[in-house]
Amino acid sequence: MALTIKVLENKPRVFVVTLAGSLDSTTYPQLESKLAYLLTEGAAKVVTLDVAGLDFISSMGIRVVFKAQKDLARAGGYLCLARIPAPIQKAFEIVEALPSMQIFSSIAEMDAYLAKMQGL
Amino acid sequence: MENGIWQPIPGMPGAFACPYVRRPDVLSANSYWIEFHGGRVLIDPGALPAQTDNLRRMLRAREGNRTLPLLICATHGHLDHVRETPAWLGDADRPVWFAAQARGARALAAGDLRQTAADLYGLDMPHMPTHVPLLTEEDERSGAPRRMRLGANVEALVRTERREGAIRQTLEWSGGAIEVLPCPGHSPDHVCYRVGDLLFVGDLLNANRPLVAGVHGWNLQELRQSLADVIRVLETGTIRWCCPGHGHPLPAEKTLDLLRRQRDQADRTGEIEELDVDRLFRTVEGALELIDEAEETFAALAGRLLYVADRLDLLDEPKLAQRCRETLDMDATDALLDAFRERCQAYSAGDVPRVAFAIEAARIVEKLRAGFAPEPLRAFLPAALVGQAQRLLLDFMGLAQGVRNPEEFVPTDVAALVAEIAAVWQASPHRDGSIADAADDPDRFAAELARRIGHPPLARRVPVRFDPGPGGPLVPLAAARFGDVLLPFLEWLGLAGAHALDVEGHAGDMPPALAIRTAGWTPDDSARTRAKLRSFARRFALAGFEWTVESNGFRLACTAAAARPR
């Protein structure tokens, strides 16, 4: 199954990356390179992954999420996750990885959070 | 060699042999018939009346109307080899005499329970006379030939010589010759017999096995020498078959291989505690305790491995999942544990003698240990859980083998020990950042994921505070073992309902101690909790700590006595 990636620069250096389909061992390089691009070319400080459209995430997909979290942290930024569907939630629960990330349950919550972002 | 068949003895024209090989156990040894022109020899009549009946049937079928005198030759005086001798000595159909090594002969004449190992079987030992003593002190001193008149027309001639530094004796009897090789070690009176190209090796092949090594009179130095002697004999290539007291006859090459392995093992063997009735009792108790703990621990290992593998499958890591499943052969482990449980039940029902049960338990646990590879398991599961399983098996084998292990105890500062365990606790794969650290490398990340899945995230659920406290004197402790007990104990307390745990070092106390404070938990009175606490208390004791239950937790006090051999 394919992965579609849409990127929206919500405000300068604040990006929302909307994912749909399958983030698996075949498709993860697309997201990895897209996130690397946002970090280097877009000087991203905050990236929110909106994963509502994801059907599946593999270990390599989780790795890309953690790598983005780590790379953003190095640059003084951070990664958020938004609208996590049940199968994806379960995958993260398996590795008990969610508590250390900012998570939004809805677009409205995410927008409200991002609207507060100052001085980025 | 075919069992139950009379067959020509290679290297000795006109002589025949017939093995009576039993399913191997410790209740009775194999017997072997030898037939010379004018008489027969029975090597080791065994210990069971049913065996005597069978041997008599074989003899009657062989001799028809032509009875011949019979000489019984003991490889050594242990009960399982000779207890039926008196049943033959009273034979009305033929004259019967008995030959045994001189020292064994004295023990058999006295019915000595320890030297004949009868005490381990809980049986009495009939007094029995030896008509042809072998390898007497006088033989060794003078080397003069000894002729013994046994009956009207029956005599035995014993010749002694020294060959290549070793004493060799030849017993001439009824037209045949039996070479006697002194092979002490398993017991002081143990000999091997050579007839033609056959070598009857008694218990030499088993002498270093658990619950055989250490039996009264066992001597490692003598055993090493005997192994070297017999290896030298076999290396000459003049022996074709070796006939053991337990198990099937083996070609000489195979025996040589086994003896060389045993020699190497003997070279690595340290001090062995004597196998007496007390150690046998302790081994049996250990086996009965082990089965419950082993079932529980291996179920935990297997369950967690399956959990990790299933989760890895869900995360699209099929190869890693497969590797995880293959780290423990669960079917083989289950089969061994089932067999162990069945043996425990049979023993408890009185169907299996104590010594037989102990040896069977040791055999099963040896197999469990052989199939248990801790290193691959540690890639998926907490080291403490893997260590717990490993120590369960090793502790029992240590008990069964009578191996003392004081080197495990090293001078340790309790404060440093608490700090070390705290560091292990902090290194939990669940700490924030551990998984992100590995995110740059796909393989490392997958391995870290697997480790994270396999470790219960107790550090998150139950706060544990470690306070090493000020340093103190060095006391002998099994530090690595202690860590393997303390961490599962903290886990267990967390799962049992403790809200928070404090581990405090009191290295300056006399004796140095640790306190484990539990918040929100006190032990209930259920049988399960009591058994669990007993098990932890025993395991802490093996690490050098004696515990007392206090109102708000536990106090573990170092006991220097634990450093002494068990």
For the domain that residue B154 is a member of, what is the CATH number? 3.60.15.10
pLDDT for A105 equals 85
Range of the domain at B66: 7-266
A92 alpha carbon, distance to own chain's centre = 13
Q: Is the pLDDT of residue B362 over 80?
A: yes
Residue B450 lies in a domain: no
Same domain, B227 and B280: no
Average pLDDT over residues B351-362: 92
Q: Are residues B306 and B394 in the same domain?
A: yes
Mean pLDDT to the nearest integer, B493-516: 92
Distance CA B387, CA B366 (A): 16
Instruction: State whether B239 and B385 are in the same domain.
Output: no
Determine how many CB atoms are found less than 10 A away from the CB of residue B155. Answer: 13
Model confidence at B388, in pLDDT bands (50, 70, 90)? confident
Is residue B458 situated within a structural domain?
no
Using the Cβ of B449 and the Cβ atoms of chain A, whether some distance falls under 8 Å is answered with yes
Among B314, B445, B457, whose Cβ lies nearest the Cβ of A63?
Answer: B445
Counting the structural domains of chain B, the total is: 3
The most confident of A97-101, B151-155, B463-467, B491-495, by mean pLDDT: B463-467
Contact A95/B432, CB-based, under 8 Å?
A: no
Residue B389 has pLDDT above 80, yes or no: yes
pLDDT digits (tens, 9 = 90+) for B65-109: 888 999 999 999 999 999 999 999 988 889 999 999 999 999 999
Residue B82 and residue B226 in one domain:
yes
Residue B58, pLDDT score? 95
Which residue from B minimizes the CA distance to A93? Answer: B453
- Please state whether the peptide bond connecting residue B13 to the residue before it is cis, i.e. omega within 30 degrees of 0: no
Same domain membership, residue B279 and residue B253: no
- The larger pLDDT score, comparing residue B428 to residue A23, is at A23
Q: Among B317-321, B327-331, B423-427, B541-545, whose mean pLDDT is lowest? A: B423-427
Q: Is residue B439 part of a domain?
A: no
The pLDDT of residue B457: 62
Query: pLDDT-based confidence at A99, cuts 50/70/90?
Result: low
Average pLDDT over residues B122-149: 93
pLDDT per position as a tens digit, B542-560: 888 999 998 889 999 998 6
Q: How confident is the model at residue A98 (pLDDT cuts 50, 70, 90)?
A: low
- CA separation, residue A3 to residues A25, A30, A90, B26, B259 (Å): 11, 8, 19, 68, 65
Give the pLDDT mean for A57-85: 92
Position B562 confidence tier, pLDDT thresholds 50, 70, 90: very low
In a domain, B454, yes or no: no
Q: Which residues of chain B lie closer than 8 angstroms to A98, CB-CB?
A: none
Question: Cβ–Cβ of A24/B316 closer than 8 Å?
Answer: yes
Same domain, B376 and B506: no
Residues 292-311 of B with CB under 8 A from A: 311
What is the average per-residue pLDDT within B264-278?
Answer: 84
Could you give the CA distance from residue B134 to residue B71 in angstroms, rounded to a whole number?
13
pLDDT confidence of residue B565? 38
pLDDT of residue B476: 87
Over range A60-73, report the average pLDDT: 92
Q: How confident is the model at residue B564 (pLDDT cuts 50, 70, 90)?
A: very low
Whether B434 shows a pLDDT value over 90: the answer reads no
Distance from CA of B517 to the nearest CA of A (A): 27
In a domain, B315, yes or no: yes
The structural architecture, per CATH, of the domain A3-115 is 2-Layer Sandwich (3.30)
pLDDT confidence bin for B342, thresholds 50/70/90: very high
Q: What is the least distance, in Å, from the CA of B311 to any CA of chain A?
A: 7
Do B353 and B415 share a domain, yes or no? no
What strands lie across the sheet with B464-467, from one edge to the other?
B464-467, B500-506, B513-519, B553-558, B545-550
How far CA B3 is from CA of B20, B206, B241, in Å, comes to: 6, 20, 13
Residue of B nearest to A60 (CA): B442
Choose one of B239, B266, B293: the last residue of a domain: B266
Tell me: do B238 and B326 sit in the same domain: no
Q: In the predicted model, what is the mean pLDDT of chain B?
A: 91
Boundary residue ending a domain (B216, B247, B266): B266
Neighbours of B55 (CB within 10 A): 20
Indicate whether B437 belongs to any domain.
no
Asked if residue B43 is part of any domain, the answer here is yes
Structural domain ending residue among the three candidates B266, B293, B323: B266
CA distance B487 to chain A (A): 20
Kindly report which listed range (B319-328, B415-424, B450-459) carries the lowest average pLDDT score. Answer: B450-459
CB-based contact, B147 to chain A, within 8 Å = no
Q: Beta strands B166-173 and B176-182: pairing type?
A: antiparallel
For residue B553, being part of any structural domain is answered with yes
Residue ranges of domains in chain A: 3-115
User: CA-to-CA distance for B532 and B317, rounded, in angstroms?
Assistant: 36
ipTM of the shown complex: 0.87
| Interchain pair B436, A91: CB under 8 A | no
Question: At residue B561, does pLDDT exceed 50?
Answer: no
Tell me: pLDDT of B118 over 70: yes
Confidence of residue A110 (pLDDT cuts 50, 70, 90): confident
Query: Residue B360 has which token pair?
Result: 């069977």
Q: Decide if B377 contacts B297 (C-beta within 8 A).
A: no
**Judgement on whether residues B399 and B416 belong to the same structural domain of the protein:** no
The residues on A that touch B, with CB distances below 8 Å, are 24-25, 56-60, 62-64, 66-67, 69-70, 73, 90-91, 94-97, 99-100
Q: For B78, which DSSP code?
A: -
Given a cut of 80, whether residue B563 has pLDDT beyond it is no
